[in-house]
Amino acid sequence: MSYVTKVLLPGETVLYETGLHWLVYLRALVLFIIAVALAVASTQFTDGERGIFMLGLAGIFLILCLLATVMAAIRRASTELAVTDQRVIFKQGIFSRHTIEMNRSKVESVDVDQSILGRMLGYGTILLRGTGGSLEPMASISDPLTLRSHITAEPVRHGGRDD
């Protein structure tokens, strides 16, 4: 059961959920490309000693790639971001946890920072500003413009009177 479903209030419904963009795997991808390049370069040496050294170096980069992949997968799987009809909920981490839960009525502004690459690939940083001046940055979020639209949309009333 996800964190978001555990903390829902009675009658509260999830309107939108997202998480971290796949780009969190970029470091692992770069390390993998370096490992492959070193492995290919090791075949170019006729001197066995240099070729073995390059192959060993490729193995080290491959191990670093695997570690980076596992760390990115854990980070991506342990980050949840949801907009409900009442709140914005953000959770990060497994063993140590960082959570932000802000009533949508207390959100003053939602800023989206996207680089050129972020605009092309659909990721960015959301800055959630609540009443009282608190600023909560959430980096590498997938499709931040849609998230902003769901946060700033007028909450739907579930019957009853507005007094």
What's 110's domain CATH number? 2.30.29
Distance of CA 87 to the CA centre of its chain: 19
> Is 60 exceeded by the pLDDT of residue 13?
yes
Q: Are residues 86 and 147 in the same domain?
A: yes
Question: 104 and 136 share a domain?
Answer: yes
Domain range for 37 is 25-74
For position 76, what pLDDT does the model report? 94
Residue 16 lies inside a defined structural domain of this protein: no
Who's near 127: CB < 8 A, 6+ residues apart?
110, 111, 112, 113, 135, 136, 137, 138
DSSP state of 13: -
Q: Which of the given ranges, 22-31, 42-51, 149-158, has the highest pLDDT on average?
A: 22-31
Q: pLDDT higher for 146 or 134?
A: 146
Specify whether 129 is located in the same domain as 87: yes
**pTM score, whole prediction:** 0.80
Domains held by the chain: number: 2
- What's the pLDDT at 45? 77
